[in-house]
Amino acid sequence: MTTVFIISAPSGSGKSTLVNAIRKIVPHVDFSVSYTTRKPRGPERDRREYCFVPRPEFEEMVRRGEFLEYADVFGNYYGTTRRVLEEAKRSGNDLLLDIDVQGAEQVKQKIPEAVRIFVLPPNRQELEKRLRLRSQDAEEVIQRRLVTASREIEKYSKYDYILVNDDLNDSVDSLKAILLVERSKRTGNQQSTANADTIAKAERCRLQNVGDRLPPILASFAAATAQGG
Mean pLDDT, range 184-190, rounded to an integer: 73
The pLDDT value recorded for residue 189 is: 59
52-110 confidence digits (pLDDT tens) = 999 999 999 999 999 999 999 888 999 999 999 999 999 999 999 999 999 999 999 99
- Report how far apart, in Å, the C-alpha atoms of 61 and of each of 37, 38, 42 are: 12, 16, 26
Residues 7 and 30: their CA atoms lie apart, in Å, by 13
The pLDDT value recorded for residue 141 is: 86
Residues 176 and 30: their CA atoms lie apart, in Å, by 14
DSSP 190-201: HHHH--HHHHHH
What pTM, to 2 d.p., does this model score? 0.91
Q: Are strands 29-31 and 35-36 parallel, antiparallel or unpaired?
A: unpaired
Farthest CA pair distance, the chain = 51
What is the pLDDT confidence band of residue 5, given thresholds at 50, 70 and 90? Answer: very high
Amino acid identity, position 51: C
List domains and CATH numbers for the chain.
4-32+94-226 (3.40.50.300)
The pLDDT value recorded for residue 52 is: 98
The pLDDT value recorded for residue 209 is: 97
Residues 62 and 146: their CA atoms lie apart, in Å, by 29
Number of H helices, E strands in the chain: 10, 9
How many Cβ atoms from other residues are within 10 Å of residue 1's Cβ?
Answer: 8
Beta strands in 9-52 (DSSP E): 29-31, 35-36, 51-52
Confidence check: pLDDT of 127 > 70: yes
Residues 179 and 26: their CA atoms lie apart, in Å, by 8
Confidence check: pLDDT of 124 > 80: yes
CA 151 to chain centroid: 15
